[in-house]
């Protein structure tokens, strides 16, 4: 499928076309900041447009967004880029509800509408704790938060109390991305045989991420131990650490057992892999909860975007459950990794992870339906 290309003039025409819509047409709007946004919108959009037959607008800053070529009659899609047209889109937005997974509303150049009383809904793109992986005040200017689990409820309410903030509407939502992965795992296991060799390496970004600290050594150990390696760096690493990526390609690029994945890990590879090695990447929880298998965590310093995170006296979820979801390995003990991978299929560990999942994430398998019903009710309230 050939996707449309856009000039600067085309971007402004797209924005004008959106702004020309009747408020009933632009009542429910999704905004996608990057490619990953669709991972968290897909199930919710399906519920709204296919099962509830509601109209939505999908506005994106992703040039090759697949939704721009959607044939769904209930979806109108618009590309607004990342420049002045996007800034104007937010400032003059005429809608009833805006749903997005981009934090820091009102903190930088992305503002609430100055012309219309829009209701802003935030959807998490990670199961991690609010006060540890987001900047201070990242959620303050949203009206409703779709919470992944009890930790988000507790953290947001504690934050509102500590900083004397106006209470937000907190929805017991869940994590549709995880629902999709679990559903795919049940299907893919019947199609794709489990690979005993493929190991996924998914570093987060930041000064001390595992790729910077010991990535080359890990890849070398795995390849020499007979494993296939798929490296999926965070997109910020690809932008900010080009010399390191070049060094990795020069060293391993010709090895048929090595793959550098610069986009989303292909579904067949993700679901047929044996193990994941990560540091503080949110995908680590997705992997552990999907397959009920331990993740190998390289014990590098945690990236903290909020220097005042300890104002909130709650231990971040990604720290409190880490040792129960896998093995935490020092960069000095990397030689342990192959044996840990080979012993990763363990019934007791699987049961422990299943228990943690049940108390950490709301509405497994039903989150999109819960969210869609909330949006439908909210839209009906605004119409009455």
Whole-angstrom Cα distance, residue 193 to residue 209? 31
- Per residue in 66-100, pLDDT tens? 999 999 999 999 999 999 999 999 999 999 999 99
- Name the one residue in this structure whose structure tokens are 């820091």: 104
C-beta of residue 206 within 8 angstroms of C-beta of residue 239? no
> Is domain 179-360 classified as CATH 3.40.50.2000?
yes
Q: According to the model, what pLDDT value does residue 7 have?
A: 61
Query: What does the pLDDT read at residue 193?
Result: 54
Q: Rounded to whole angstroms, how far apart are CA atoms 200 and 281?
A: 12
As a whole number, the mean pLDDT across the chain is 94
Grade residue 1 by pLDDT with cuts at 50, 70 and 90: very low
219-261: per-residue pLDDT in tens? 999 999 999 999 999 888 998 999 999 999 999 999 999 999 9
CATH architecture for segment(s) 10-175+364-383: 3-Layer(aba) Sandwich (3.40)
Please check the confidence at residue 384 and state whether its pLDDT lies above 80: no
pLDDT digits (tens, 9 = 90+) for 259-301: 999 988 999 999 999 999 999 999 999 999 999 999 999 999 9
Rounded Cα gap, residues 19 and 92, in angstroms: 9
Q: What is the mean pLDDT of residues 304-323?
A: 95
Specify the length of the chain in residues: 384
pLDDT at site 3: 46
Mean per-residue pLDDT for 164-190?
A: 92
Non-local (6+) Cβ contacts of 232 within 8 A are: 200, 201, 202, 261, 262, 265
Q: How far apart are CA 51 and CA 70, in angstroms?
A: 17
The predicted pLDDT at position 9 comes to 87
The answer to whether the beta carbons of residues 106 and 135 sit under 8 Å apart is: no
Enter the tokens of residue 346: 């363990």
Residue pLDDT, tens place only, 118-161:
999 999 999 999 999 999 999 999 999 999 999 999 999 999 99
Give the ranges where 279-366 is alpha helix by DSSP (H).
283-291, 317-320, 322-325, 337-342, 347-360
Residue by residue, DSSP assigns 161-220 as: HHTTPPPPEEEE---HHHHHHHHHHHHHHHHSPPPSSEEEEE---STT-HIIIIIHHHHH
**Distant-in-sequence, close-in-space partners of 335: CB < 8 Å, separation ≥ 6:** 221
Q: What is the dihedral of CA 17, 20, 25, 30, to 10 degrees?
A: 50
Which one-letter DSSP state was computed for residue 51?
A: I
Using DSSP, state whether 239 is helix, strand or coil. Answer: helix
Res 310: pLDDT: 95
Domain boundaries, the chain: 10-175+364-383, 179-360
4-58 residue pLDDT tens: 555 668 899 999 999 999 998 999 999 999 988 999 999 999 999 999 999 999 9
Contact status, residue 232 vs residue 36, Cβ threshold 8 Å: no
As a whole number of angstroms, the distance between CA 338 and CA 357 comes to 26
Please say if the pLDDT value at position 2 is more than 50. Answer: no
* 194 pLDDT higher than 90: no
Q: pTM for the complete prediction?
A: 0.93
Q: In what order do the strands lie in the sheet with 144-147?
A: 75-79, 56-60, 28-32, 97-100, 119-123, 144-147, 169-172
pLDDT at 381 over 80: yes
Fold agreement between 10-175+364-383 and 179-360: yes
pLDDT in tens, 317-348: 999 999 999 999 999 999 999 999 998 878 88
């Amino acid at each position: 499928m050939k996707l449309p290309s856009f000039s600067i003039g085309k971007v402004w025409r797209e924005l004008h076309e959106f702004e020309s819509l009747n408020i009933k047409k632009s009542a429910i709007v999704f905004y996608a900041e990057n490619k990953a946004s669709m991972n968290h919108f897909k199930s919710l959009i399906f519920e709204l447009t296919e099962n509830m037959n509601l109209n939505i607008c999908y506005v994106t800053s992703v040039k090759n967004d697949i939704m721009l070529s959607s044939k769904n009659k209930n979806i109108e899609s618009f590309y607004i880029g990342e420049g002045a047209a996007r800034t104007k889109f937010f400032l003059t937005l005429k809608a009833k509800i805006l749903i997005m997974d981009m934090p820091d509303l009102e903190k930088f150049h992305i503002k609430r509408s100055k012309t219309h009383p829009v209701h802003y809904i935030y959807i998490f793109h990670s199961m991690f704790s609010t006060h540890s992986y987001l900047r201070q005040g990242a959620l303050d200017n949203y009206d409703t938060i779709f919470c992944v689990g009890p930790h988000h409820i507790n953290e947001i309410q504690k934050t509102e109390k500590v900083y004397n903030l106006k209470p937000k509407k907190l929805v017991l939502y869940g994590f549709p991305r995880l629902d999709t992965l679990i559903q795919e795992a049940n299907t893919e296991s019947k199609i794709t045989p489990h690979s005993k060799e493929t190991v996924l390496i998914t570093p987060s970004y930041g000064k001390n991420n595992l790729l910077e600290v010991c990535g080359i050594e890990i890849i070398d150990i795995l390849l020499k131990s007979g494993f296939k390696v798929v490296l999926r760096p965070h997109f910020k690493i690809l932008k900010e650490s080009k010399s390191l990526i070049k060094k990795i390609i020069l060293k391993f690029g010709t090895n048929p057992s090595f793959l550098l994945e610069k986009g989303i890990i292909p579904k067949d590879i993700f679901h047929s892999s044996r193990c994941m090695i990560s540091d503080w990447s949110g995908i680590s929880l997705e992997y552990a909860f999907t397959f009920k298998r331990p993740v190998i965590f390289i014990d590098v310093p945690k990236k903290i975007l909020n220097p005042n995170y300890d104002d909130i006296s709650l231990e971040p979820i990604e720290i409190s459950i880490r040792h129960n979801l896998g093995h935490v390995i020092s960069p000095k003990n990397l030689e342990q990794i192959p044996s840990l991978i080979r012993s990763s299929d363990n019934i007791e560990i699987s049961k422990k992870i299943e228990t943690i999942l049940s108390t950490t994430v709301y509405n497994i398998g039903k989150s999109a339906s819960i969210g869609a019903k909330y949006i439908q009710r909210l839209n009906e309230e605004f119409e009455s």
